Structures are given as structure tokens and as C-alpha cells.
Amino acid sequence: MELDELYWFLERKPRTETRENIYIMTMVSREPRQIVGHMVSTDKSSRTIQRMVDAALEAKRYCTDGSSGYLDVIFPGKHIFNVHNKSDTFTVEGATADLRHYIPTLARRSRCFPRKLENLRAALRLFVCAYNRFGAAKARFRILYPLSEPPFFSSRFLLSVRLDTPLLPSWLKNRSFHDKMIHRQALAGRFSIQPCFRLQ
């Protein structure tokens, strides 16, 4: 499990040294690549991070960067506190980059920023829902197809969502019973998908 945070502006751009007034904290699993916890807050204190950790599923390892807010957090597993580089938090850093890329109000060097906290939270929930479905579909694809197959593309994800199950690979017909069992486990939903919220 990896943790990270990003900062941005809400309602206005304050004239402070770093200028931010809102923080988005995320917890990301590596396999499958999904956002298992997120929180929007006006501070990034250890108490706020602790609430996010307590609400998520437990993991054996928790990797963070050198932010001081992680030092006082009680993790259920081993805490890897890396102050030198991002070698332990590359997955969550990628998720943070995706947040800024796909949510226009979080893009850097932009005049756009959310006017209401409710709008930011709604956009984040929608993004997490789509992000987790994509991560689960990609993990199932790696089980169903050998390494010699073409890589996972967005078109394959859209097709699997439309059909509700991945396509049956032709190479599986002549494979062993073990390979067929792996295929059945993948179709049965071995990788969980966090439920989407419904817009009223």
C-alpha cells in the first residue's frame, strides 16, 4: 500500500507561502492498481491520515514519502518511510499524476479550481470509481492472456465493461486444468471493484 497527498486551491487562491488551502490524500494498492482510500481535507495532519488508514483494508506494508505527517500515524503493517526518493511510492505518484491529468480543476498551471468542496469530492469519487474498474480489468487481463499477447489498451477495457466479462482467449482451449481454473477465478471476480455511487 502506498500513500501520498496533493495540494490545490478551493474557492480562491490564498496569498500564503505555498498558497494551497485544500489537500487530497490517497492510498493506492499495487496489484491490482486501485485507489483503496482517499480523503479531502483542509489539513494533512497525522490525525487526518489516520482516519483514512483506519477506514481502508489492512496491508502488510505501507510506503510513504518524507512528509512529517506520516510519522505519528499508526499503521497496521510495516511502515516504509522513504525520505530519499520515490522508489517506494511510484504507484501512488502515478495515481496523483492521473488525478491532475483527468480532473481539469486539479491541473497545474491552470486558472481553474473548484469553487465548492462538494464538487471536488463528487469529481474525486467519480474518478476513483472509473480508476478502480480500469485497474481491476487490467489485472484480470494479465491473468487471462500470456505475456506474448498485445498489451492492455483502453479499448480492451471499454469492450470488457460493455460485455461485463473479458473475452475468452483462444489459447485457453488447449491449456491445462490449472490454467482454466485461473480463468474461472478471474471471471468470478477475484479482483474486487469498489462500488460506484449513484447520482441522484
Q: Averaged over 181-191, what is the pLDDT?
A: 52
**More confident of the two residues 192 and 158:** 158
118 lies in some domain: yes
pLDDT at site 198: 40
Q: How many domains does the chain have?
A: 2
pLDDT at site 173: 47
| pLDDT reading at 167 higher than 60 | no
pLDDT, averaged across the chain:
76
| pLDDT reading at 31 higher than 50 | yes
Q: Model confidence at 26, in pLDDT bands (50, 70, 90)?
A: very high
Asked whether residue 85 falls in the same domain as residue 62, the answer is: yes
| pLDDT reading at 20 higher than 80 | no
Say what the alpha-carbon torsion angle 39, 41, 46, 47 is, to the nearest 10 degrees.
Answer: -90
Q: Distance between CA atoms of 161 and 187, rounded to whole angstroms?
A: 13
| pLDDT reading at 8 higher than 60 | yes
Residue range 91-117, pLDDT digits in tens: 999 999 999 888 887 877 666 677 788
Which structural domain, as residue segments, surrounds residue 152?
Answer: 132-187
28 lies in some domain: yes
pLDDT at site 166: 45
Q: Distance between CA atoms of 198 and 200, rounded to whole angstroms?
A: 6
Asked whether residue 105 falls in the same domain as residue 138, the answer is: no
| pLDDT reading at 172 higher than 80 | no
Q: Among residues 103, 129, 155, which one ends one of the domains?
A: 129
| pLDDT reading at 192 higher than 50 | no
pLDDT at site 9: 78
Asked whether residue 82 falls in the same domain as residue 141, the answer is: no
| pLDDT reading at 5 higher than 80 | yes
| pLDDT reading at 87 higher than 60 | yes
Q: Distance between CA atoms of 97 and 92, rounded to whole angstroms?
A: 9
Q: Distance between CA atoms of 5 and 24, rounded to whole angstroms?
A: 5
102 lies in some domain: yes
Q: Averaged over 69-78, what is the pLDDT?
A: 92
